[in-house]
């Protein structure tokens, strides 16, 4: 979908040399810390920025030359939500329906009942809680039956329950054959994507399914129960700064390898170790490891 | 969870396919225009405070200019110096212009002190024969000084001067002079500020980014945003005119419908300036500051308050680039003299040209991308 796409502002790269591809009907996540270039990348894809270098297509349409066609087929939900705060939900949807040339009145009711917005249809948007506001913005992005939706941080500032609802909606959109490109910096959410691209400091550092990313991180997590736990944590942390405390149990992300168990036990010598077990890393551990690795490659 | 098939087929609208028909596109365009205009109207009506300000401010200005601001000055303090003279007193007191102090200043030094501390603005030295021989005027307020000089000239030379007849505004009423100019100033203010703020607010809220991702064209967006503000501005202009006629009995000697028509190119020029401001301002505060920066010189240099002939040639060219400079003679000419297109076509033509140039410029500078 893109190859070597780059964008810089006043000489500072915001997106450098990003190449990735999204399949039809999949939920594709762009993840990475704030400032990694996620928003810039999707704005490039939507034709809101002119690329500094590289090229890309969205739904087979060129992002430079055919952006008016892209606009008509893509539903876009910007980070700023994109709804008019002083208008009601229904007024906002009507506005976007008119703008996109949607003629059937029934489509508005359809979208509203699908996203369960019937009760708040005549509420002014600023009065709604963030979760509902985001859901209304999603409705506005869907009103013209786009072939693809681009959602920039749809769950930012949303409570966990509403966040779950939002992801269920995204999955149900994809289930109907609509491609969804979603950005997020909340790592557990990344697991709900079919595939992911990891961005850090303007570069794409890894891409694949969540399992792939965990795999390529080459990490394993040691779970240590020892007493006194504070002493165990202090020692492990001194040796591996990424060690973290979960209750009284210490998690140590380590590169996969044979000698790890011996080394951990060595550090804990003299303490009473109840259990030492191994588990695969979470997406967040994998992400941190991949970003660190990319950073050290970058400086090497 | 959605019921099966609720999503429906994707993007079947004929206006969005590659082989779209021109007529379908035009219909879509009208729809989009209507959508934006309707949205702007809802927002305008719902934003009570801004609406109240837009209607209230012109009213307050009308009252200030109509009742408060006087271009003629009355009750200027005068004292006689040296000797008293009933004859001079009588001449000075003939009109409301002067208020003659009952006491006579003994010396010129005493008179200078009175002017210095501001208790009097004019001192007339009278000789032993009761004749005025010398006049001192406090020039620190040039406005008062000029008026005093003018009055004194006519009073002192009474009997010798040729008869003067003042046409069109025989009593030289300030309201007659100010209200027609105010119509122009208010239209400029409301039109420019409302448009600038209207676009910048979309940028600030992030809805402009959303709009850029819709099929809305640049022109549709601009026209759709401008239309509601044009209606508002014209309504306010009509309100000011009617109040001027009723409250201040300003004459309307020309054809009001003609004036209304001439106001349209002027309005378009003002709104385009607002759009131009919105292309450079990033937030509402900047938009307000830029608008003030552009509007204040415009009011000062246009001849609406001070005559154009008082503006030195070096900066007269600035005046000639300002729409208000051309609307003021149109407005005054129609209110007071009953002029029409036959006399005013040069000004009307310039306004039409300005409206065109500013609109094209705004359309060129208005970006449909974020970078």
Residues of chain A with Cβ-Cβ distance to B39 below 8 Å are 84, 87, 91, 95
Greatest mean pLDDT range, A11-25, B79-93, B255-269 = B255-269
pLDDT at B161: 46
Closest CB to B42 among A80, A87, A98: A87
Same domain? B226 vs B270 = yes
A163 to chain B nearest CA, in Å?
A: 15
Q: Which residue of B has its CA nearest to A64?
A: B369
- Indicate if the pLDDT at residue A90 is higher than 90: yes
Reported confidence tier of residue B305, pLDDT bands at 50, 70, 90: confident
Residues of chain A with Cβ-Cβ distance to B212 below 8 Å are 48
Reported confidence tier of residue B86, pLDDT bands at 50, 70, 90: confident
- Indicate if the pLDDT at residue B327 is higher than 80: yes
Count of structural domains within chain B: 2
Q: Return mean pLDDT, chain B.
A: 82
B51 contact A CB<8A? no
Pick the closest to residue A204 from A50, A77, A32, A62 (CA basis): A32
Asked if the structure places residue B274 within a domain, the reply is: yes
Q: Which of residues A27 and B364 earns the better pLDDT score?
A: A27
Contact state of B212 with A96 under an 8 Å Cβ cutoff: no
What's the order of all strands across the beta sheet hosting A2-9?
A: A12-20, A2-9, A53-58, A61-62
B10-63: per-residue pLDDT in tens? 544 444 444 445 566 667 788 899 999 999 989 988 888 888 888 888 888 888
Distance between CA B204 and CA B197 in Å, rounded?
10
Asked if the structure places residue B40 within a domain, the reply is: yes
Same domain? B247 vs B150 = no
User: Tokens 């365009």, residue?
Assistant: B29
Asked if the structure places residue B188 within a domain, the reply is: yes
Contact state of A145 with B47 under an 8 Å Cβ cutoff: no
Contact state of A87 with B39 under an 8 Å Cβ cutoff: yes
- Indicate if the pLDDT at residue A150 is higher than 90: yes
Reported confidence tier of residue A93, pLDDT bands at 50, 70, 90: very high
B112-135: per-residue pLDDT in tens? 888 888 888 888 888 888 888 888
Phi/psi for B9 (5° steps) reads: -70, 155
Same domain? B272 vs B247 = yes
Q: Which residue of B has its CA nearest to A80?
A: B206
Asked if the structure places residue B178 within a domain, the reply is: yes
- Indicate if the pLDDT at residue B354 is higher than 90: yes
What's the order of all strands across the beta sheet hosting B132-137?
A: B98-105, B76-82, B122-126, B132-137
Same domain? B277 vs B336 = yes
Distance between CA A151 and CA A181 in Å, rounded?
6
Same domain? B271 vs B132 = no
Same domain? B142 vs B273 = no
Closest CB to A91 among B10, B13, B42: B42
pLDDT at B19: 43
Reported confidence tier of residue B164, pLDDT bands at 50, 70, 90: low
Q: Which residue of A has its CA nearest to B216?
A: A99
Contact state of B215 with A98 under an 8 Å Cβ cutoff: no
Asked if the structure places residue B335 within a domain, the reply is: yes
**Domain containing residue B120: CATH number:** 3.40.190.10
Percent of residues, chain A, with pLDDT higher than 70: 97
CB neighbours of residue B183 within 10 Å:
30
Contact state of A48 with B213 under an 8 Å Cβ cutoff: yes
B211 to chain A nearest CA, in Å?
A: 8
Same domain? B184 vs B90 = no
Asked if the structure places residue B150 within a domain, the reply is: yes
Pick from B100, B123, B156: which residue ends a domain?
A: B156
Pick the closest to residue B320 from B301, B307, B304 (CA basis): B301
Contact state of B12 with A96 under an 8 Å Cβ cutoff: no
Reported confidence tier of residue A2, pLDDT bands at 50, 70, 90: low
Closest CB to A78 among B6, B206, B216: B206
Q: Which of residues A79 and B238 earns the better pLDDT score?
A: B238
Contact state of B207 with A83 under an 8 Å Cβ cutoff: yes
Domains by residue range for chain A, with CATH = 2-209 (3.40.50.300), 219-280 (3.30.70)
pLDDT at B13: 43
B215 contact A CB<8A? yes
Asked if the structure places residue B6 within a domain, the reply is: no
A206 to chain B nearest CA, in Å?
A: 27
Residues of chain A with Cβ-Cβ distance to B10 below 8 Å are 73, 145-147, 177-178
Q: Which ipTM was obtained for this model?
A: 0.83
Pick the closest to residue B363 from B184, B235, B223 (CA basis): B223
The string of DSSP letters for B257-313 reads HHHHHHHHHHHHHHHHHHHHHHHH-SSHHHHHHHHHHHHHHHHHHSSSSS-GGGS-H
Same domain? B62 vs B124 = no
Same domain? B62 vs B106 = no
Phi/psi for A222 (5° steps) reads: -90, 130
Percent of residues, chain B, with pLDDT higher than 90: 15
Contact state of B13 with A144 under an 8 Å Cβ cutoff: yes
Same domain? B316 vs B268 = yes
- Indicate if the pLDDT at residue A3 is higher than 80: no
Q: Which residue of A has its CA nearest to B369?
A: A48
Residues of chain A with Cβ-Cβ distance to B12 below 8 Å are 145
Q: Return mean pLDDT, chain A.
A: 87
A256-280: per-residue pLDDT in tens? 876 788 888 888 888 888 888 888 8
Pick the closest to residue B65 from B190, B143, B182, B169 (CA basis): B182
Residues of chain B with Cβ-Cβ distance to A82 below 8 Å are 206-207, 209-210
Residues of chain A with Cβ-Cβ distance to B214 below 8 Å are 71, 96, 99-100
- Indicate if the pLDDT at residue A214 is higher than 50: yes
Distance between CA A278 and CA A230 in Å, rounded?
20
Same domain? B357 vs B241 = yes
Q: Which of residues B143 and B330 earns the better pLDDT score?
A: B330
Q: Which residue of A has its CA nearest to B46?
A: A86
Asked if the structure places residue B85 within a domain, the reply is: yes
Distance between CA A150 and CA A137 in Å, rounded?
12
Same domain? B138 vs B209 = no
Q: Which of residues B155 and B362 earns the better pLDDT score?
A: B362
Closest CB to B212 among A48, A73, A83: A48
Domain range spanning residue B60?
Answer: 34-68+172-365
């Amino acid at each position: 979908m893109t190859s070597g796409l780059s964008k810089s502002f006043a000489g500072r790269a915001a997106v450098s040399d990003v190449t990735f591809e999204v399949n039809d009907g999949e939920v594709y996540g762009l993840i990475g810390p704030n400032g990694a270039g996620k928003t810039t990348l999707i704005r490039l894809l939507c034709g809101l920025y002119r690329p500094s270098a590289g090229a890309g297509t969205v739904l087979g349409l060129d992002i430079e030359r055919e952006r008016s066609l892209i606009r008509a087929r893509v539903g876009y939900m910007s980070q700023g939500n994109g709804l008019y705060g002083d208008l009601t939900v229904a007024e906002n949807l009507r506005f976007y329906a008119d703008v996109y040339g949607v003629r059937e009145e029934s489509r508005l009711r359809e979208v509203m009942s699908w996203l369960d917005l019937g009760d708040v249809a005549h509420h002014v948007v600023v009065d709604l809680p963030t979760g509902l506001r985001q859901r209304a913005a999603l409705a506005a992005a869907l009103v013209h039956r786009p072939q693809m939706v681009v959602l920039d941080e749809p769950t930012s500032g949303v409570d966990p329950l509403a966040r779950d609802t939002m992801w269920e909606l995204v999955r149900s959109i994809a289930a109907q054959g609509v491609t969804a490109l979603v950005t997020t910096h909340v790592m557990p959410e990344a697991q709900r994507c079919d595939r992911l691209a990891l961005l850090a400091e303007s570069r794409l550092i890894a891409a694949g399914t969540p399992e792939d990313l965990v795999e390529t991180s080459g990490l394993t997590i040691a779970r240590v129960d020892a007493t006194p736990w504070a002493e165990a944590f202090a020692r492990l942390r001194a040796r591996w700064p990424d060690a973290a405390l979960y209750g009284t149990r210490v998690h140590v992300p380590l590169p996969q390898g044979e000698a790890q168990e011996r080394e951990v036990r060595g550090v804990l010598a003299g303490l009473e170790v109840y259990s030492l077990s191994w588990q695969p890393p979470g997406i967040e551990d994998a992400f941190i490891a991949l970003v660190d690795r990319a950073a050290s490659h970058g400086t090497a | 969870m959605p019921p099966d098939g609720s999503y429906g087929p994707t993007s079947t609208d004929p206006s969005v396919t590659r082989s779209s028909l021109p007529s379908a596109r035009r219909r879509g365009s009208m729809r989009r225009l209507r959508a934006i205009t309707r949205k702007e109207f809802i927002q305008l009506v719902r934003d009570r405070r801004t609406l109240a300000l837009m209607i209230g401010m012109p009213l307050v200005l009308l009252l200030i200019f109509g009742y408060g601001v006087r271009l003629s000055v009355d009750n200027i303090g005068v004292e006689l110096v040296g000797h008293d003279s009933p004859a001079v007193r009588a001449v000075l007191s003939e009109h409301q212009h002067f208020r003659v102090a009952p006491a006579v200043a003994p010396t010129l030094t005493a008179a200078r002190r009175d002017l210095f501390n501001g208790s009097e603005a004019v001192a007339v030295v009278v000789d032993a024969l009761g004749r005025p021989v010398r006049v001192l005027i406090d020039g620190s307020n040039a406005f008062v000084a000029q008026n005093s000089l003018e009055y004194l000239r006519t009073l002192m030379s009474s009997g010798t001067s040729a008869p003067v007849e003042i046409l069109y505004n025989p009593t030289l009423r300030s309201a007659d002079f100010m209200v027609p100019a105010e119509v122009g100033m208010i239209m400029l203010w409301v039109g420019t500020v409302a448009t600038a703020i209207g676009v910048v607010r979309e940028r600030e809220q992030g809805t402009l980014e959303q709009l850029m991702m819709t099929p809305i064209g640049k022109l549709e967006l601009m026209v759709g945003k401008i239309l509601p503000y044009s209606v508002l501005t014209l309504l306010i202009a009509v309100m000011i005119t009617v109040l001027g006629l009723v409250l201040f009995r300003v004459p309307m000697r020309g054809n009001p419908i003609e004036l209304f028509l001439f106001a349209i190119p002027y309005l378009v020029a003002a709104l385009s300036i607002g759009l131009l401001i919105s292309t450079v301002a990033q937030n509402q505060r900047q938009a307000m500051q830029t608008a003030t920066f552009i509007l204040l010189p415009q009011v000062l240099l246009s001849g609406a308050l001070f005559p154009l002939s008082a503006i030195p040639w070096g900066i007269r060219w600035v005046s000639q680039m300002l729409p208000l400079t051309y609307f003021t003679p149109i407005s005054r000419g129609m209110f007071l003299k009953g002029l029409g297109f036959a006399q005013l076509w040069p000004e009307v033509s310039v306004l039409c040209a300005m409206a065109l140039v500013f609109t094209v410029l705004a359309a060129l500078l208005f970006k449909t991308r974020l970078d």
